[in-house]
């Protein structure tokens, strides 16, 4: 039983929700929806999900204390969730910029998370992993916040869950801790003190075993850092994951790898790989992007993604801060 389970809701009851006006542009396979928050119009493309689908959001690189586009995007997420049955939010790292949190009582939990994602439709489970910015602070506090917040769920630094996918199938979701898999962070013990303390090989063995022993039709892995992406960030980050994580994904029939870190939208398919590599954009401050090897799509918009799981298909909708569906990945089997 979580302690202080009503702590967050007491705060939410006294918060005033702040809305934003969004310009609608028709997206692929969607319909226009107009709603209102605090008497302000919010217009967005409604993803064309089926009634039987299991839907969840992907959000990351959030923690800007509501500044830049964080608060408007948070409100957009809430308004869309009122129209689409969203089961949970996958928070794939960097909920807190820039130095992580110091404890479960750090005020950043309020200003980066609780007060920002206060829409009633976002009072759902958030399944989280650490990003590199969390590793600059107290990473154990990010896990332990599970015992404080009603909706924050992080049972360990890496974990898995099985969810419905349509009426008859299942999907395995594997949440991984990528920072300790990258030498850049392991060698910077002053800046990222917990990274080198983590057993990299133990995690890789666990990921392999979890994927191999699952009979779920769909297999999706979620982490903070990309295996493939166009970015000015150190190439060694991706090289390390290509050497260590990619072989595990390939041999176990993973369908999608979802991540953040780069602050833009990217979809990459590499030759001789069946994995869809998806970079989800920042939920606050976005960065420029250009095409690279394997690029199917890229956009410098800020935003979030919606994943819709069905018996025979998975759809991922990339949604920008104006509520436009800028790109859809459709995968069948």
Q: Does domain 7-332 have CATH number 3.60.21.10?
A: yes
Q: How confident is the model over 188-208, as a mean pLDDT? A: 97
Does the structure show a pLDDT above 60 at 60? yes
pLDDT mean across residues, the chain:
91
Does the structure show a pLDDT above 60 at 281? yes
Q: Kindly list the domain boundaries of the chain, sorted by start residue.
A: 7-332
Does the structure show a pLDDT above 80 at 20? no
Sheet with 54-59, side-by-side order of all strands: 152-153, 125-129, 86-92, 54-59, 303-309, 313-320, 325-332
Does the structure show a pLDDT above 50 at 25? no
What letter would DSSP give residue 15? P
Does the structure show a pLDDT above 50 at 140? yes
Q: Give me Rg for the CA atoms of the chain.
A: 19
Does the structure show a pLDDT above 60 at 18? no
Q: How confident is the model over 164-186, as a mean pLDDT? A: 98
At 8, the pLDDT band (50, 70, 90 cuts) reads very low
The pLDDT tens digits of the residues spanning 289-301 come to 999 999 999 999 9
How many CB atoms are closer than 10 A to CB 284? 28
What is the reported pLDDT for 6?
37
Question: Per mean pLDDT, which range of 3-12, 243-252, 256-265 is the poorest?
Answer: 3-12
At 36, the pLDDT band (50, 70, 90 cuts) reads low
At 39, the pLDDT band (50, 70, 90 cuts) reads low
Does the structure show a pLDDT above 50 at 243? yes
Does the structure show a pLDDT above 80 at 100? yes
What is the reported pLDDT for 5?
40
What is the reported pLDDT for 167?
96
Distance CA 209, CA 203 (A): 10
At 42, the pLDDT band (50, 70, 90 cuts) reads confident
- C-alpha pair distances (Å), 97 with each of 15, 234, 245, 261, 266: 23, 19, 26, 12, 22
How many CB atoms are closer than 10 A to CB 55? 20
Does the structure show a pLDDT above 70 at 9? no
Helical ranges in 15-100 per DSSP H: 70-81
Q: Phi and psi at residue 187, in whole multiples of 5°?
A: -85, -10
The pLDDT tens digits of the residues spanning 312-327 come to 999 999 999 999 999 9
What is the reported pLDDT for 40?
66
Does the structure show a pLDDT above 80 at 52? yes
Q: How confident is the model over 225-230, as a mean pLDDT? A: 98
What is the reported pLDDT for 32?
76
Q: How confident is the model over 122-146, as a mean pLDDT? A: 98
What is the reported pLDDT for 23?
29
Give the highest mean pLDDT range of 21-30, 41-50, 54-63. 54-63
Q: Are 106 and 146 in contact (CB under 8 A)?
A: no
At 34, the pLDDT band (50, 70, 90 cuts) reads confident
């Amino acid at each position: 039983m979580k302690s202080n389970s009503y702590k967050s809701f007491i705060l939410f009851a006294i918060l005033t929700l702040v809305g934003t006006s969004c310009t609608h542009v028709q997206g692929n396979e969607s319909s226009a929806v107009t709603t209102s928050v605090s008497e302000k119009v919010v217009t967005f493309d409604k993803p064309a999900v089926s009634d039987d689908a299991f839907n969840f959001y992907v959000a990351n690189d959030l923690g800007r204390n509501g500044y830049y586009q964080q608060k408007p995007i948070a409100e957009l997420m809430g308004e869309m969730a009122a129209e689409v049955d969203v089961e949970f939010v996958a928070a794939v790292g960097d909920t807190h910029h820039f130095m992580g949190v110091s404890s479960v009582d750090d005020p950043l939990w309020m200003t980066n998370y609780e007060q920002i994602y206060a829409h009633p439709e976002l009072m759902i489970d958030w399944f989280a992993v650490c990003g590199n910015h969390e590793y600059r602070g107290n990473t154990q506090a990010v896990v332990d916040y599970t015992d404080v917040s009603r909706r924050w769920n992080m049972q360990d630094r890496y974990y898995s869950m099985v969810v419905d996918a349509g009426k008859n199938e299942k999907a395995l979701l594997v949440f991984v801790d990528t920072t300790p898999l990258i030498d850049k962070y392991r060698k910077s013990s002053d800046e990222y003190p917990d990274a080198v303390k983590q057993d990299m090989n133990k995690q890789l063995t666990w990921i392999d075993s979890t994927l191999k022993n699952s009979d779920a039709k769909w297999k999706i892995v979620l982490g903070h850092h990309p295996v493939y992406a166009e970015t000015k960030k150190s190439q060694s980050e991706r090289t390390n994951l290509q050497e260590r994580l990619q072989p595990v994904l390939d041999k176990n029939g993973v369908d999608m790898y979802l991540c953040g870190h780069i602050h833009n939208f990217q979809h990459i398919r590499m030759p001789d790989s069946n994995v869809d590599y998806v970079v989800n954009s920042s939920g606050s401050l976005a960065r420029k992007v250009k095409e690279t090897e394997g690029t199917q799509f890229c956009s410098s918009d800020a935003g979030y993604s919606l994943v819709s799981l069905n018996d025979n298909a998975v759809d991922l909708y990339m949604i920008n801060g104006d509520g436009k569906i800028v790109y859809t990945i459709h995968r069948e089997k």
